[in-house]
Structure 1
């Protein structure tokens, strides 16, 4: 197993899907650090609120389609730096 140097302790990741988004935050932020959210606006607002509660400042999102656009806009509006990768 390799050891990686952590370069951003306040970052999280999102796997964007057409029906659900899977989000992972650092394990020291919450007992359940991986959560699933829906894709509708209320779900995305809940996701953004949870990320802010977990003190996340930067998100790396993975998406193969256009499903990232709404999440990107809501997260960016809430002050989270978003990277589409």
Structure 2
């Protein structure tokens, strides 16, 4: 089966969490999460060696959005119920 035909929810909600695919406009909140976690991310993730700009993060988020739609990548953003991002899953 062609992966583009897979039905994958774009948002999953629980009582306390929201998991959603990256979308245009998410760059600012993702960038804030990266900046808040930079010390913890640096040893593990190549992209965290330098602090990205909001524009760089927005571009990355839009690429992730396109890959999700094409089923080439299934990155999810995890938010608290307060809509503050807490994790990035690649």
TM-score by length of 1: 0.24
- Find the structure with the greater CA-based Rg: 2
Q: Which structure has the highest strand share of the two?
A: 1
Q: Which structure has the highest helix share of the two?
A: 2
TM-score by length of 2: 0.23
